[in-house]
Structure 1
Amino acid sequence: MSQGLLDAQNGAQPSDTDTRQVSGISRRSFLKFGVTVGAAAGGGLLLGFSMPAASEDRKAGNSVIGGDANEAPQSGVFAPNAFIQIDTAGKVTLVMPKVEMGQGVYTSIPMLIAEELEVPLDAVTLDHAPPNEQLFKDPLLGGQLTGGSTSIRFAWEPMRRAGATARVLLINAAAQQWQVDPSSCHAQAAQVIHAASNRSATYGQLAQAASALPAPRNVPLKDPKDFKLIGTPVRRLDSPEKVDGTAQFGLDVRLPAMVYAAIANCPVFGGTLASVDDTHAKTIPGVREVIKLDNAVAVIGAHTWAAKRGLQALDIKWNEGAGAQLSMKRIVDDLAAASQHGGAVARKDGDVGRAFGDAKSRVDAVYQQPFLAHATMEPANATVHVRGDACEIWLGSQVPTRVVDAAVAVTGLPADKIIVHNHLIGGGFGRRLETDMVTQAVKVGKHVSTPVKVLWTREEDIQHDMYRPYYYDTISAGLDANGKPIAWQHRIAGSSIMARFAPPAFKNGVDPDAVEVAADLPYDLPNQLVDYVRVEPHAVPTAFWRGVGATRGTFVVESFIDELAAHAKIDPVQYRRDLLGKSPRALNVLNVAAQAGNWGSALPQGQGRGVSVMHAFGSFLAIVVEVAVEQGEVTVKRVNCAVDCGMFVNPNTIEAQVQGGIIFGITGALYSEITIKDGRVEQNNFTDYRILRIHQTPPVDVHIVKSGEAPGGIGEPGTAALMPALTNAIYAATGKRLRQLPVGRQLHSA
């Protein structure tokens, strides 16, 4: 963080040198907490803690402890979300309910435990949590899954309280043994110390005795001013194994007698397999078998090369069906037509119609955002071994319990016969919230007696992804004589991911993800109407893409705010300041970013700066982007991002996630789009689904604002806030207002 940690108290303009520590923590906690204690299998202390949703009226202390932390609890017993185990050797194990896909939770969540437990961070080891919806449910997401930038928000208080409770139990155990008052003892470096008598005992020595004690209630947490670990920059614990190659991703799985499958899926959405001639393929050395599925063909080989060569040798004919008529024009026309009609109301404040009538001027716009693929560095893959009495699966997934469900649906086996080995993930971005690869891999595995690794090539991965939806937004504002918006109307048309992924969340015709940000603006707008029209793009499958709602919503809102500023002939930063009087955290990050980005200073011709402000995932961000545009090509020169994510755990992780999100957003804004012709995805690899190259990557300075508020999410906000700042900078440099992404296509066609 080139400008250090910045202070946001009292809404003051932060400075690099002002490093006062905020000591108060927000009381706006939305999690309740329950904890019990018991003996671990093999001896030692096992601490369980629960994180029910705030709406659930459960009493603390109902957690059930006992047995192996990797085993499901007994039927009918309240299942805690996660466990800490301390064995008689003093080893501290956290069974991690979240998966690591590059965001750093395997460092930051253990920091929460280590801080309150008073153990060195390197003393905490991790086990992947097994699939268990009750035991490891994230109440913010309604299931055992990793996404939505919730990991630290989910863990912030319960993980710390679990560590603090364990520490108190260990102190109490030592005090009983020494027959002293517990208040005369303290914990330090994984041991309990009684200074008056110069006695000490390690956690391992005390674990068994501590397991027999009743769980204390209302254990106080540390005051932030006493933190030793939380809030300090810590190197990621998983970096060494990723550097030396010992880290195990799904793609790295190797099993005895394992074979390999190469897949060809029907290129047309909704198409099926008609026939396949495998005569030549079976003559290729190493080809074992050709498997026909409803809409795909798999070649089984002794190694990847054999499977791939065999697949290339097949003569495949497809039943393309009605999907072959699908085109981008048809999809966009459907969205445009649907936008002519009112949708389900997501927000309605004041009298919008009357406000438009009173307005001195009006601005209308249509914004379009394309289908996007995830294009994760680790392509879709799964290794499966289907037997008559069980099914084992090795992969990296954001939704382990849904992996079980998918395998149950294909095999007909009971859920307790599905064994999932979850690994590190080489990029998720929402792609591994889906289980389509699991379903296909298990179908293939049913035809093979040995373990089989099913891998999609990059081409299959891009052409058979589940895509960020195409969105079509119509937005209007009525301005008073001073250029301030007094009427605001925003209609969103697009696919509903929630209706498929989490049907209970789709209520009264509104997809809460599709209207995110749009229906909860940081700006003071007295008369608003935001509605949503669901339009499904025929057979094109849609899914989350690094914060779909906030990403798509911020682009439209912040681009349009810039349009209003230009219409009113007011500086874009000042225009936003005038509307943020009721949102001091948003105003503060705007001021930090503007100062860091040298807002208002002169730039050469053909260069410009753009700004955006975002409130989503519980965090506030502002970004200033500096660009140069020459002959239709955009060079991003510099990015400054101010972040107020509340209380933070590891500033190194925050900086890395924001930088990564911004780079991901630059790629999305400049180049990325999936287009469809004759029912087929036209892009197939990084040659035509372009990714930002390292030499094109600008300096990205992240300025973390100190805050006493509850933690917010950070994995997705950088991507969401970047896109409109970039297009606004292009407008400043060229005078061209870009209402459709990607930028490259629009600039070259303008």
Structure 2
Amino acid sequence: MSILPKTSRRDFLKLATAASGGLLLGFYWNDTTAGAPNVVGNVSLTPDDITFNSYLSIAPDGIVTILSPNPELGQNIKTSFPMIVAEELDADWSKVHVLQAALDTQKFERQVTGGSGAIPHSWERLRKAGASARQMLLEAAAKRWQVTTDSLTTSQSVVTHAASKRTATYGELAAEAATLPVPATVALKDKKDFKLIGQAIRNVDNHEIVTGKPLFGLDFYREGMLFAVIQRPQAFGTKIKSVDAAAAKAMPGIVDVVTFKNNVAVVGKSTWQVNKARKALKIEYEQDGASESTTDHDKLFKTLLDSSEATVRRKDGDVDAAFKQAATVITREYQCPFLPHAPLEPMNFFAHVREDGVELVGPSQTPEMARNETAKLLGIPAEKITLELTRLGGGFGRRLKADYVLEAAELSSIIKAPVKVVWMREDDMTGGSYRPAVRYRFSAALNSQGEMIGYKLRGVGINAGNCTREDNFPSGAVDNLLIDSVEHKSPITTGAWRAPITNFLAFAEQAFIDEVAHAAKKDAVEFRLGLLDKAKRTPTGAIKYDTDRMKTVIQLAAEKSGWSKKPKVFQGFSVYFSHRSYVAQVAEVSMKSGKPVLQKIYAAADCGIVVNLSGAYQQVRGGIVDGLGHAFFGNLTFNGGAAEQKNFNTYKLIRIKDVPEVDVHFVNNGIDPTGLGEPALPPTGGAVANAFFAATGKRFYNQPFDKQQEAIPQANIERM
């Protein structure tokens, strides 16, 4: 099997410089009401200038500065948030400057990046913030010219009185507007009048990124700080028995070697020196719990799939009766391995623990949680801790945790000095928080007309919690349904991985539904549409997805891909609902020299109003590439509790040459935005696997696909 490349380069754009002086407006993100205006002098604005949850400023020269509170890890929130404010403000985007906010729980609500929830949460709040500032500028102009506000218009940071042909820039009106009261209520734009929202706007950090400016945690440097690397147990379920650090301590640039918790930290004056000294450590470990191995996991899955201790997540109708009456029963199992997050920027954080407080700086998806856990660790009030956010060089859920932040804080408290803890790639691969390994068993019961009258799903996960999504499609579309799960506790640490649980569940579900449709001798798209029609017409139990929105993306993907109408092109279909959004995909495979080659993937996405078209395209394309790469190649195995893949020489990531052409389309339904950072990933594995089946007659049941030397031929279907 192979994957054909088709990619394009990104463009970059220099944006305007920072503002100073003029009108400064604070607004609360929880109640969307602007705070009292402040006149700011000719000084550069920083996150400490205003004590509101977030703010925008308008300088005398017309520069608009917006402070963005949420962590930026590539999801484009640092560009999209200001776009929403600027839209309602009617600002000239070329004069907008964006600053990253530090953590401030008094000023901000939900200062988090995760769950694809930032835009849905802040959409209306941001719009009202921009509209409030615009209204104050209109009132200032009306007062100056002795006219009514409804006789004025705004555009591109200019207020115009058409009758007298007078104009004033926002910068010219800023000081006067600052003396006016903040409006209690404001009118928002009709969505049809949007000028900025829905356009393709380049990331505000593009110039700084491409020119190597210090934006990321690894870039952060403070004069006099120390560097540290930490040796953690390389095998889960082990603890330190003895440490010989004499050779490491004697090496140049090494300040100290510290043992704390189950870690050994080497502290010195440069990352090169501490990393070199770490190799001189002599550490002996002993068992501290059950060991883990790939073989054990395989046996474990087989045992737990037949367990009588499963937790029922959803049960509709009489499942046993449906299966007894079935004309056809199809049962299949699907398994996925553990996966590391493998962000481009490994974990790192700076900490300076002083008697009067603690300073933290670095990349975190959950800065408030990091601060609170640090406070608990050190036994001090959270108010004594400041946390400054850098841009995140990837995260995908790994940086939702605070373990690497706590390491830096605890080490600084021990050595009484500012220190930056840096993880190497091997640390990230062997000591990280992985996607849980999971196995699913699906069963479907068909009647003699090929209708699905029964459906069963059991999920078994290792530290996965509930590894099902019991209310997602096709729940509600099948009269008799049973979904349950079993969890196994393990010393291997797991956590959220991009599109948690659904990143593999969607592949398994959509591959299975494809096989059920094939057994029923029905078209894969029509089979799904039929289930959705039933869910809308005669639902069984709760329906927690929108059948019309799902049908729309299915139909759009089928239309754009020319579903079932292309000769010598083999197509596979998949659709999934996650994080409040809907994405359908069609993968296309052609035979080249007798081998199947992935040529193209079509995607239809419904995420409501698209704020930034450029960012939205990249989110969908990036999610597809991420899902495709891990479905084909991602594989982390354990031997005796130790990860066997320690770097990219043994853990394969998708390469540019493996990326097919991706054609993205959005549904324009005018509803408020829903999530987009994760929903494009889940459907990809299923669409590709189903396309390969169409081309070869062989199905994939496990990931990664490339580890299956021979794709499993279509299994026998049990005819009742």
Letter of the 2:96 partner, please give it: V
1:526 corresponds to: 478
1:588 corresponds to: 552
Cα gap change, 1:65 to 1:635, in 2 (>3 Å)? farther
Residues 64 and 73 of structure 1 are in contact (CA less than 8 Å); yes or no, is this contact kept in structure 2? no
2:612 corresponds to: 650
Q: How does 1:49-128 map to 2 (within 5 A)?
A: 49-51=28-30, 70=47, 82-87=54-59, 90-128=62-100
Letter of the 1:351 partner, please give it: D
Q: How does 1:517-596 map to 2 (within 5 A)?
A: 518-521=470-473, 525-581=477-533, 582=536, 583-596=547-560
Letter of the 1:639 partner, please give it: I
Q: What is the deviation of 1:98?
A: 1.5
For 1:308 and 1:686, the matched residues in 2 are separated by 19
Q: What is the deviation of 1:283?
A: 3.0
| Aligned equivalent of 1:697, options 655, 659, 663 | 659
SS at match of 2:558: helix
- The 10-residue stretch of structure 1 (470-479 or 87-96) with the greater mean CA deviation from structure 2: 87-96
| Aligned equivalent of 1:356, options 314, 318, 323 | 323
Q: What is the deviation of 1:386?
A: 2.2
Residues 478 and 488 of structure 1 are in contact (CA less than 8 Å); yes or no, is this contact kept in structure 2? yes
Letter of the 2:650 partner, please give it: D
For 2:163 and 2:366, the matched residues in 1 are separated by 51
Measured against aligned partners, the alpha-carbon deviations of 1:149-207 in whole angstroms (never above 9, x if no partner) come to 12221222221122112111221122123322111112222232223333333333433
Q: What is the deviation of 1:657?
A: 0.9
For 2:426 and 2:594, the matched residues in 1 are separated by 28
For 2:184 and 2:640, the matched residues in 1 are separated by 64
For 1:301 and 1:749, the matched residues in 2 are separated by 51
Q: Once superposed, what is the RMSD of the aligned Cα atoms? A: 2.9
For 1:289 and 1:569, the matched residues in 2 are separated by 70
Residues 260 and 303 of structure 1 are in contact (CA less than 8 Å); yes or no, is this contact kept in structure 2? yes
Letter of the 1:329 partner, please give it: T
- Residue 626 (structure 1) aligned with residue 592 (structure 2): no
For 2:461 and 2:516, the matched residues in 1 are separated by 25
Residues 314 and 484 of structure 2 are in contact (CA less than 8 Å); yes or no, is this contact kept in structure 1? no
Residues 346 and 423 of structure 2 are in contact (CA less than 8 Å); yes or no, is this contact kept in structure 1? yes
Q: What is the deviation of 1:521?
A: 0.9
For 1:226 and 1:709, the matched residues in 2 are separated by 15
- The 10-residue stretch of structure 1 (581-590 or 312-321) with the greater mean CA deviation from structure 2: 581-590
| Aligned equivalent of 2:23, options 44, 64, 79 | 44
For 2:317 and 2:213, the matched residues in 1 are separated by 59
2:638 corresponds to: 676
- The 10-residue stretch of structure 1 (429-438 or 357-366) with the greater mean CA deviation from structure 2: 357-366
- Residue 327 (structure 1) aligned with residue 327 (structure 2): no
Residues 129 and 136 of structure 1 are in contact (CA less than 8 Å); yes or no, is this contact kept in structure 2? no
| Aligned equivalent of 1:405, options 338, 348, 372 | 372
2:180 corresponds to: 213
- The 10-residue stretch of structure 1 (472-481 or 187-196) with the greater mean CA deviation from structure 2: 187-196
Q: What is the deviation of 1:437?
A: 0.6
Q: What is the deviation of 1:123?
A: 2.5
Q: What is the deviation of 1:208?
A: 4.1
- The 10-residue stretch of structure 1 (565-574 or 592-601) with the greater mean CA deviation from structure 2: 592-601
For 1:537 and 1:732, the matched residues in 2 are separated by 38
Residues 355 and 487 of structure 1 are in contact (CA less than 8 Å); yes or no, is this contact kept in structure 2? yes
Residues 629 and 730 of structure 1 are in contact (CA less than 8 Å); yes or no, is this contact kept in structure 2? no
2:142 corresponds to: 175
Q: What is the deviation of 1:637?
A: 2.1
Cα gap change, 1:392 to 1:532, in 2 (>3 Å)? farther
Q: What is the deviation of 1:670?
A: 0.7
Letter of the 1:47 partner, please give it: G
2:189 corresponds to: 222
Q: What is the deviation of 1:628?
A: 5.7
For 2:604 and 2:174, the matched residues in 1 are separated by 44
Q: What is the deviation of 1:523?
A: 7.2
SS at match of 1:180: coil
| Aligned equivalent of 1:379, options 346, 359, 377 | 346
For 2:229 and 2:594, the matched residues in 1 are separated by 40
2:3 corresponds to: none
Letter of the 2:71 partner, please give it: V
- Residue 149 (structure 1) aligned with residue 111 (structure 2): no
SS at match of 1:641: strand
Q: What is the deviation of 1:623?
A: 0.8
Measured against aligned partners, the alpha-carbon deviations of 1:468-504 in whole angstroms (never above 9, x if no partner) come to 111222221111222121211222232566x7xxxxx
- Residue 136 (structure 1) aligned with residue 108 (structure 2): yes
For 1:564 and 1:749, the matched residues in 2 are separated by 18
For 1:329 and 1:538, the matched residues in 2 are separated by 14
Letter of the 2:293 partner, please give it: S
SS at match of 2:698: coil
Q: What is the deviation of 1:341?
A: 2.6
For 2:113 and 2:482, the matched residues in 1 are separated by 29
Residues 583 and 683 of structure 2 are in contact (CA less than 8 Å); yes or no, is this contact kept in structure 1? yes
Measured against aligned partners, the alpha-carbon deviations of 1:201-222 in whole angstroms (never above 9, x if no partner) come to 3333433443443433442222
- Residue 193 (structure 1) aligned with residue 163 (structure 2): no
For 2:74 and 2:646, the matched residues in 1 are separated by 25
Q: What is the deviation of 1:748?
A: 4.6
SS at match of 1:580: helix
Measured against aligned partners, the alpha-carbon deviations of 1:678-711 in whole angstroms (never above 9, x if no partner) come to 1111111112211011111111111223222221
SS at match of 2:393: coil
Measured against aligned partners, the alpha-carbon deviations of 1:116-143 in whole angstroms (never above 9, x if no partner) come to 10111233322323323453223xxxxx
Q: What is the deviation of 1:749?
A: 7.8
Measured against aligned partners, the alpha-carbon deviations of 1:380-419 in whole angstroms (never above 9, x if no partner) come to 1112222232222221111111121232133323212212
- Residue 744 (structure 1) aligned with residue 693 (structure 2): no
Cα gap change, 1:632 to 1:384, in 2 (>3 Å)? farther
Residues 389 and 413 of structure 1 are in contact (CA less than 8 Å); yes or no, is this contact kept in structure 2? no
- The 10-residue stretch of structure 1 (710-719 or 205-214) with the greater mean CA deviation from structure 2: 205-214
- Residue 666 (structure 1) aligned with residue 628 (structure 2): yes
Cα gap change, 1:213 to 1:336, in 2 (>3 Å)? farther
For 1:526 and 1:134, the matched residues in 2 are separated by 47
Q: What is the deviation of 1:664?
A: 0.7
| Aligned equivalent of 1:337, options 303, 318, 338 | 303
- Residue 424 (structure 1) aligned with residue 391 (structure 2): yes
Cα gap change, 1:536 to 1:65, in 2 (>3 Å)? farther
For 1:616 and 1:322, the matched residues in 2 are separated by 36
Measured against aligned partners, the alpha-carbon deviations of 1:497-534 in whole angstroms (never above 9, x if no partner) come to 6x7xxxxxxxxxxx4xx433x42216762324343435
Cα gap change, 1:341 to 1:93, in 2 (>3 Å)? farther
Residues 37 and 182 of structure 2 are in contact (CA less than 8 Å); yes or no, is this contact kept in structure 1? no
SS at match of 1:201: strand
Q: How does 1:157-168 map to 2 (within 5 A)?
A: 157-168=124-135
- The 10-residue stretch of structure 1 (685-694 or 564-573) with the greater mean CA deviation from structure 2: 564-573
Letter of the 2:208 partner, please give it: E
SS at match of 2:454: strand
When normalised by structure 2's length, the TM-score is 0.87
Q: How does 1:251-290 map to 2 (within 5 A)?
A: 251-290=218-257
1:13 corresponds to: none
Residues 26 and 36 of structure 2 are in contact (CA less than 8 Å); yes or no, is this contact kept in structure 1? no
Q: How does 1:419-458 map to 2 (within 5 A)?
A: 419-458=386-425
Measured against aligned partners, the alpha-carbon deviations of 1:4-51 in whole angstroms (never above 9, x if no partner) come to xxxxxxxxxxxxxxxxxxxxxxxxxxxxxxxxxxxxx98734231333
Q: What is the deviation of 1:564?
A: 0.3
Cα gap change, 1:45 to 1:132, in 2 (>3 Å)? closer
For 2:65 and 2:516, the matched residues in 1 are separated by 54
Residues 43 and 87 of structure 1 are in contact (CA less than 8 Å); yes or no, is this contact kept in structure 2? yes
- The 10-residue stretch of structure 1 (733-742 or 373-382) with the greater mean CA deviation from structure 2: 733-742
Cα gap change, 1:681 to 1:564, in 2 (>3 Å)? same
Letter of the 1:412 partner, please give it: G
> Which stretches in structure 1 are left out of the alignment for 5+ residues?
3-40, 53-59, 75-79, 139-143, 500-510
1:34 corresponds to: none
- The 10-residue stretch of structure 1 (157-166 or 383-392) with the greater mean CA deviation from structure 2: 383-392
